[in-house]
Amino acid sequence: MKVTKTKLAGALVFEPKVFGDARGFFMETWNYQRYRDAGLDVKFVQSNLSKSAKGVLRGLHFQNPNPQGKLVQILTGEVFDVAVDIRVGSPTFGQWHGEFLSGDNHTQFYIPEGFAHGFCVTSETAIFSYMCTNFYDAKADNSLLWNDPKIDIKWPISTPSLSEKDANAISLDAFNPEKLPQYIVK
């Protein structure tokens, strides 16, 4: 398995070994020991699956309190997936990292707790799978503006299809810093 560290501490890109032939393929999508040895020592408590059409943008979502770390991957289709460091006091506060994930490249992206997360669908449809380190908490759920000019994410689409929640999201500067995750030096 190839592991790539991003400029955002804790945000990791995994390229699992894929064993394939004319019949199809096999890959291990999670193995606690193997991922721990590669730098991801977390416990997942919830697994989610979503399907979205081309042009759909979901995010940028985060929970605070009760943040969720997410190991994401695409089963079919392709998305541009983004993590934004929103931990107050972090040296990379407000910075983002994006990855194209697809059912063909099998790449996984780990978004740490304290980060906002979003993706846009670049194929006709995409089936998105992710495991979370914490349970969903509707009271802690927040949405950061997908096109916040200060964050300046280079999305591959300009007029996405958004939920009402995401269309009404606010910029990072508009959030009360006390409502955002805090950076803790380990």
Which residues participate in catalysis according to the annotation? 61, 130
- State the DSSP H helix or E strand holding residue 79, giving kind and residue range, or none if neither: strand 78-85
What is the rounded radius of gyration, in angstroms, for the C-alpha atoms of the chain?
Answer: 16
β-partners of residue 141 are 63
Q: SS3 of 52, please? A: strand
Q: Is the dihedral of CA 163, 62, 87, 130 positive or negative?
A: negative
Residue (of 45, 71, 173, 56) closest to 124 by Cα position: 56
* Contact by Cβ (8 Å): 85, 115: yes
